Amino acid sequence: MTQIKNIGLFTSGGDAPGMNAAIRAVVRSAIYYGLNVTGIRRGYEGMITGDIFAMNIKSVSNIIQRGGTILKTARCEQFRTPAGRKTAFENLKKHNIDALVAIGGDGTFTGARIFADEFDFPIVGLPGTIDNDLCGTDFTIGYDTAINTVIDAVDKIRDTAESHNRLFIVEVMGRDSGLIALRTGIAAGAETILIPESKTDINAVFERLENGRKDKTSKIIMLAENGIAGDAFEVGRQIKERFPHYDTRVSILGHIQRGGAPSCMDRVLASRVGVAAVEALMAGRRNEMIGLIHNEIAYTPFELAIKHNTDINPDFLKIVEILAI
């Protein structure tokens, strides 16, 4: 096993609050253990264009509390091609990078796995996505902050909904995953939750509204984007058609869910897995995502980590039903 001397570090895919805390943890722990760290800007794109620079202790001063990523992030089509990956490999060699820490989601790890196989390159990954849709970790970096941002916004929506006796359809992020909608729906006291995993269609929503208490002065329906019942405006239109007496409004929370200072939970998660990533590389581990399962560091091969987690705890949906009476 060759000794690792210089770790290349990048963030890739959608940004998530807590990525900076993870960057800080990797840089500081690598330096602590006597290794060099080299930053790569804009993920795989910077690897191909050569946007690569040496990092030191001060490069990560005063960033643990900041949202976004100081390394920037991007989606890079060229990395999907063998020629793009070859250029990336040559640039890493030019900068004497002999291992990588990738912070991102399933797409990032898919690319990492292919690259690691092609060039026999040591890579470990940290789960950085607000969607919480990776296997091999109870929570991803950014999820806790995102759901707290959603709750903060929905509490405000509830105030105005209550004042006007309105029904709000609130759409949250999660391209293929309803995990943001599921948890925030419970925490916001939603009437019902529409998520791709539960296959709930619009008829279930109608039923809930039909049979629900008539004296409620506000109602919230939580919806994950790309839901099977259509987008929030379509759901709103259908509800209005069926229940013309409801004063309905749609609110799409959008990119505020990606921003903001990371929560304490996200900072601690990022710090723990960041340190573990450096220690894992030093111990000869590779091609694995490092997460936390039951509060312990867990190593999951990339090919398993990227399997989209569609297991929804049925208790969660039952809780919504029970508590919405």
**HSE-up of 18 (CA within 13 Å, CB side)?**
30
Q: Residue 105, interface with ligand ATP (CB under 6 A)?
A: yes
Torsion angle of the four alpha carbons 103, 38, 70, 252, in this order, in degrees rounded to the nearest 10: -20
Give the range of 98-106, 146-154, 226-234, 317-325 binding ligand ATP by CB under 6 A. 98-106
Q: What is the C-alpha separation between 27 and 277, in angstroms, rounded? A: 11
From the list 14, 18, 68, 125, which residue makes contact with ligand ATP (rule: CB under 6 A)? Answer: 14
Other CB atoms within 10 A of residue 304 CB: 13
Alpha-carbon distance of 152 to 35, in angstroms, equals 41
Q: Give the residue with the Cβ less far from ligand ATP, 104 or 236.
A: 104
Does 114 participate in binding ligand ATP (rule CB under 6 A)?
A: yes
**Residue whose CB is less far from ligand ATP, 188 or 306:** 306
Token pair 């995502």 in the structure block, residue: 289
Closest CA to 125 of 288, 272, 322: 288
Supply the minimum distance, in Å, between the C-beta of residue 309 and ligand ATP. Answer: 12
Q: Which of 51, 98, 131, 133 is catalytic?
A: 131
* Cα–Cα nearest to 107, from 79, 88, 83, 85: 79
Select from 79, 121, 139, 302 the one that contacts ligand ATP (CB under 6 A): 79
Tell the smallest beta-carbon distance from residue 303 to ligand ATP (Å): 12
Q: Which residue has the tokens 């070859």?
A: 86
131 a catalytic residue: yes
Among 26, 37, 55, 76, binds ligand ATP (CB under 6 A): 76
* CB-nearest residue to ligand ATP: 107
DSSP string computed for 178-198: -HHHHHHHHHTT-SEEE-GGG
Please identify, among the stretches 75-83, 158-166, 228-236, 266-274, the one whose residues bind ligand ATP according to the rule CB under 6 A. Answer: 75-83
62 CB burial (10 A radius; 0-12, 13-18, 19+): exposed
Interface pick for ligand ATP out of 68, 107, 136, 291 (rule CB under 6 A) = 107
CA dist 102 and 126 (Å) reads 6
By the rule CB under 6 A, 302 interacts with ligand ATP? no
Q: State yes or no: residue 145 binds ligand ATP (CB under 6 A).
A: no
CB of 258: closest distance to ligand ATP in angstroms? 9
| Residues forming the site for ligand ATP (CB under 6 A) | 12-14, 44, 75-76, 79-80, 104-108, 110-111, 114, 129, 131
> Which residues are marked as active site?
131
